Amino acid sequence: DGAIWHANIAFYPVMDETGQTFSYSGIFTDVTSIRSVEQALISSLQRTTKAQQAIIFGLARLAEYRDQDTGYHLERIRSYCRELGLAMMIHPAYSDTVDEKFIDLLYRTAPLHDIGKVGIPDNILMKKGRLTPGEFDIMKSHTLIGYHTLSSIKEQYGEMEFLNMGIEITHAHHERFDGRGYPRGLKKDEIPLSAQIVAVADVYDALTSRRIYKKAFS
């Protein structure tokens, strides 16, 4: 009827009493139904991944929506992270850690880095002048707000790779290699690699983009 069917084919040698092969025996197994189930599972997983990505990006946009100067910041950040990841994947120092799966996960979770800004008051988040020390302390709390938000989701729904990496990124993307970052003053390899990559991408984007308080660097 023209329908496509799938089969597993296995051949085995048939030997005589001297151990010489004189023929082959083949077994054909119809696995069409198994393949159909596999394809259905793959399609379901793809739909779930797309829905997951839509939710991630939607949540991240909540913070960006209030900070008008960031523009397409989220799209740029995740693109920079992907390019950095691809470069690191072929470097011997990172080849055992950074693979295609890591890069894909990083690309999907990087937009969450500033999700905690939803908890920062508008008069601080959108201030045109330099922040006072007190205001800067409040601004820095966005890392903790993001961390606790995603951690509470993880606590309720269990282990998920994208949540684990999202928690790393939101909590540590303002840490610095010399230990002068925040909120915990982590240094060097104490900082999760995902957060290190997002930190580089975030600073690069801040330098090369116009913000409410500065012009873009060329």
Query: What digits encode the pLDDT tens for the residues 122-175?
Result: 888 888 888 999 999 999 999 999 999 888 888 877 788 888 999 999 999 999
% pLDDT > 90, the chain: 42
> What number of other Cβ atoms are within 10 A of residue 202's Cβ?
22
Contact 120, 140 (CB under 8 A): no
Reference 111, options 56, 68, 48, 52; nearest CA is 56
Between CA 36 and CA 44, with CA 42 as vertex, the angle to 5 degrees is 105
> What number of other Cβ atoms are within 10 A of residue 168's Cβ?
20
Rounded mean pLDDT of 67-89?
84
For the domain covering 47-208, report its CATH number: 1.10.3210.10
What's the whole-model pTM score? Answer: 0.72
pLDDT at 85: 97
% pLDDT > 70, the chain: 72
Q: Two tokens at 89?
A: 């994947």
Residues whose CB is less than 8 angstroms from the CB of residue 121 and which lie 6 or more positions away in sequence, other chains included: 138
* 101 pLDDT tier (thresholds 50, 70, 90): very high
Rounded mean pLDDT of 198-216?
79
93 — phi, psi (to 5°)? -70, -20
Q: What does DSSP say about strands 21-30 and 7-15: parallel, antiparallel, or unpaired?
A: antiparallel
pLDDT at 16: 77
Q: What is the mean pLDDT of the chain?
A: 82
- Is the pLDDT reported for residue 66 higher than 70? no
Which residue has tokens 């302390």? 137
Rounded mean pLDDT of 27-51?
62
- Is the pLDDT reported for residue 33 higher than 90? no
- Is the pLDDT reported for residue 86 higher than 80? yes
* 216 pLDDT tier (thresholds 50, 70, 90): low
pLDDT per position as a tens digit, 171-199: 999 999 999 999 999 999 999 999 999 99
What are the beta bridge partners of residue 13? Answer: 24
pLDDT at 134: 93
**DSSP letter at 211?**
B
Q: Two tokens at 166?
A: 């999202």
pLDDT at 103: 97
pLDDT at 44: 57
